[in-house]
Structure 1
Amino acid sequence: MTTISAVAHVVAQGDPYDIGFAHGTALRERLRAFLDDGVARLNHLLPAAVSVAGLSADIAAHRAEITRSTPRLAGEIAGLAAGAGLTLDEATLLQLRREIVGYQRIPTRGDCTTYARPGVLAQTVDLNGNLDDQLAVLEVGHGDRKSLVLSFAGLLGYLGVNSHGLAVGLNLVLGGRWGPGVPPYLAIRHVLDTATSVRSAVAVLRSLPLASSRTIVLADAAETACVEVLGDEYRVMTARESVHTNHFLAPDFTSRDELNVFARNSSLRRLRMAESGLRALPEDADPDEHFAVLSQPPICVADDGDIRRERTVAVVVLDTKNGVLHLRPGDPRLSKTRSFTL
């Protein structure tokens, strides 16, 4: 069932370990309960039960890549574990849930729909696992750099906007081999921590070995881009406005798309609707106008009571000029906008 829960707001600055420790301390009880709920609800989603001990080899392989490629985030995971009273494996597992689930073969009606134009990036957040109750906004910083990051259940990253005016969103796409690497959610946080523009963000992404296929959508004050990642290959599409759902758009990636036919049909419908909705919006559209576009079916996916199926658990509008994350948690048609400003 859809529930609209309080959104935790965690403010943390300093060294990576200190940021993670503050995050873990603030959400200590919630993260422990989440892990105890069928191993972070994975056992509600997977055909065979898993355990942290049974996943230890996979967790260690991913952690090695995270430590090699994004050492600051490895330190933050260690701080998260200490602050929340978790083992390092448990804290790392929270970053890897989507990779553990793997390709979703259940026919689905939706997943994230994202669009961007200079100065704004907006998207639905469609997830399975009934994650409405795990929403948090992290306000993190080191030195003079700050970011607002949407998080679920201990994730260090998901989507967000930084103080340099860069917004980052994402879409699930399915293809290639998934294996040890940097989870895309952590890659997004790394981009927010290090990049200052769409072009520098593309360079940062190209330097990372991602663990799974994904599309990363970028926006700054001047341009937008979609970066499709399939294995170790990257395709970058730059434009003044970008729209993406859950099928590959790069011509040479389309034949390697593993999305099932039901999900692909949904993805195509949502893409067309988002494109027309964005075209109809004035350049100075306010957050409520963006929320109106993304709150319409089939872009917004209602709860049908099946924890295994993706549904809309949040909608976000990121304002790069003013450094604001506007959020409607749960079903956006039933919740009020909450705004967080850097």
Structure 2
Amino acid sequence: MTTAAKLAHIVAQGEPYDLGFAHGSALRKRLRDFLDDGVARLNHLLPTAVSMAGLAGDIAAHRAVITRSTPRLADEIAGLAAGAGLTLDEATLLQLRREVVGYQRIPTRGDCTVYARPGVLAQTVDLNGNLDDQIAVLDVGHGGRRALVLSFAGLLGYLGVNSCGLAVGLNLVLGGRWGPGLPPYLAIRHLLDTATSVESAIATLRSLPFASSRAIVLADATGTACVEVIGDEYRVTRARESVHTNHFLDPDFAGRDELNVFARNSSLRRFETAASGLRALPANADPDEHFSVLSRPPICVADDGDIRRERTVAAVVLDARNGALHLRPGDPRLSATQSFAL
């Protein structure tokens, strides 16, 4: 078990390389130690050990797509490497750890639970690898535009909210073949950097070559949507309110779901609990009222001491109308709310 006491808050403005350099410089020792811990803790999770040399081909293949599809993020990764004293391969690996893990560890107790209504998106972050000691909040911007981004272990993106009033969250869903492409976490950062609304985010997502399957949940001041992705196929559900866990909701994708039965049962339970909790919340619910929903079992998954198991390492409430990110690091039942605003 690790501690969530090392939350970092990094504020940076400027060109992509400068943003990455500031991020890397602020977390230089932390990122070096993380990479040296079983190759970014991958060797604590995978059945067969990996090495930087052995991963070089996969990293290069992903980097080629990142550079082609989101060149500004490729520049930011280069800045991250320089600021943290990492190789470019190491800084790139931090962006695609989940793709390296692949289907190896299908969650059986939990994974992220997301819900959204106009102006608000709330979710738990369930990860393996004991990543609650790697949390950072990035306040990054260029040309008058800014975003608040939740990050883990050098990620340029995970989830967040931007100054245009767009909030973006995500779920792991398992389907299709995973391969060289744009990691979904970087896709989310690209949305926060470029999109201005739910509709513009959907249009942008359709042009991105995803490396792995995901569900992306979007919210702005007037509505929400969920975009499910398998390979180059996208299914969009628009709604006044949205709830998503880890099973596909679109009928076209449901038959291609690779979740095992235990993971699916967990996903269904969390979906029902979140939907019920959202219905009960008043329209003007404050962050702590949202955290009360996110803190309920089975949505909140406790630590059982096994680094290989997904557990809740953070809970977040994104206020798209006011440009704020409210965070409870670690188990949200045990931590205080920390708030960040644009």
Interval of TM-score (by shorter of Structure 1 and Structure 2): over 0.9
Q: Residues 208-248 of structure 1, C-alpha deviation per residue, up to 9 Å, x if partnerless?
A: 00000000000000010000001110000000000000000
RMSD: 0.7
8 Å CA contact 1:224–1:238 kept in 2: the answer is: yes
- Which residue of 2 is the match for residue 326 of structure 1? 326
Q: TM-score, normalised by structure 1?
A: 0.99
Distance 2:213 2:183 in 1: 9
Distance 2:139 2:25 in 1: 15
Q: 1:106 deviation in Å?
A: 4.8
- Which residue of 1 is the match for residue 280 of structure 2? 280
Q: 1:68 deviation in Å?
A: 0.2
Distance 2:88 2:132 in 1: 25
Amino acid at match of 2:333: R
Q: TM-score, normalised by structure 2?
A: 0.99
8 Å CA contact 1:138–1:148 kept in 2: the answer is: yes
8 Å CA contact 1:2–1:303 kept in 2: the answer is: no
- Which residue of 1 is the match for residue 162 of structure 2? 162
Q: 1:107 deviation in Å?
A: 5.1
8 Å CA contact 2:4–2:135 kept in 1: the answer is: no
- Which residue of 2 is the match for residue 99 of structure 1? 99
- Which residue of 2 is the match for residue 111 of structure 1? 111
Are 1:295 and 2:295 matched, yes or no?
yes
Q: 1:3 deviation in Å?
A: 2.1
Q: 1:10 deviation in Å?
A: 0.5
Amino acid at match of 1:162: N
Amino acid at match of 1:9: H
Q: Residues 10-67 of structure 1, C-alpha deviation per residue, up to 9 Å, x if partnerless?
A: 0111000000000000000000000000000000000000011110000000000000
Q: 1:2 deviation in Å?
A: 4.7
Q: 1:4 deviation in Å?
A: 2.5
Amino acid at match of 2:187: A
| Runs (5+) with no aligned partner, structure 1 | none
Q: 1:104 deviation in Å?
A: 3.8
- Which residue of 2 is the match for residue 216 of structure 1? 216
| Runs (5+) with no aligned partner, structure 2 | none
Secondary structure of the residue that 2:255 maps to in structure 1?
helix
Alignment of 1:17-28 (within 5 A): 17-28=17-28
Alignment of 1:166-315 (within 5 A): 166-315=166-315
Amino acid at match of 2:25: T
Q: Residues 267-298 of structure 1, C-alpha deviation per residue, up to 9 Å, x if partnerless?
A: 00000000000000000000000000010000
State the 4+ residue runs in structure 1 displaced beyond 2 angstroms.
104-107
